[in-house]
Amino acid sequence: MDKILSKIPPFEPGSVWLVGAGPGDAGLLTLYAYEALRQADVLVYDALVGQDILELTGPGTILEYAGKRGGKPSPKQNDITERLIALAREGKRVIRLKGGDPYIFGRGGEEALTLAAHNIPFRVIPGISSGVGGLAYAGIPLTHRETNSAVTFLTGHDASGEVPDVNWEYIAKGSPVIVVYMGVRHIRSITERLIRHGRSQDESVAIVFRATTKDQKIVVSTLANAAQDVEKSNLKPPALIVIGEVVKLRPDLDWFDRYLASEIED
């Protein structure tokens, strides 16, 4: 382990590392992310980063919350990026810690472009995206040889907070498996669009809440009933929506719930 960690590049003062925290389980952090947390002077973190991950920071690390949650008062993106620049110019080693992966619906690209424009040295540490790790913990493989050879990742809302203006017909007809991030608020509109453009009302859907954590809950439904089943569940985001035949594999592949059940019995 020490040999691997010794090869991690030094975290230089005056630089910003955009770090992916993964989908929730602290054990899914990369070694680079873990080492960066130990060295950082300041940690600017998102709403979806758990307390167990924050506790991995060094004793002198300053924690600054910059969480953005839909429908709630949140820091403006420009303010967050300006804060990163100001901290770096003070000579701090700054981590911008994001749930999942910084470059997958995480605004990491926006922040990196602004840092580059201001000549702030930065590094990107990828994380396991919730659309990959979260579904694995839900017992749903993204691909399976007998069901699909393609996947579409889609955000459930655009920059204005509305349903994204994408070609829903192409998505409905062209992708056997669709994974929607941040889509619970618009789940009715999303499922209606897919049905309107040719998806079967009976197609399997799973909504995975708080993926990879001890609070993980899953609603399994159909495209026609998903919105009302989510409403009945009273479960709240964060959540992922996955649509496709791979959902039917969950009864055999649901290792995580069985693992938690065995822990409780022990």
The H helix count followed by the E strand count for the chain is 11, 10
Residue 128 token pair: 């396991």
Residues involved in catalysis: 46, 68, 182
Residue 144 token pair: 């399976």
Beta 217-222 vs 204-209: how paired, if at all? antiparallel
* CB burial of residue 146 (10 Å; 0-12, 13-18, 19+): exposed
Strand-pairing partners, residue 22, are 100
The residue assigned the tokens 């990107």 is 124
State the Rg of the chain over Cα.
20
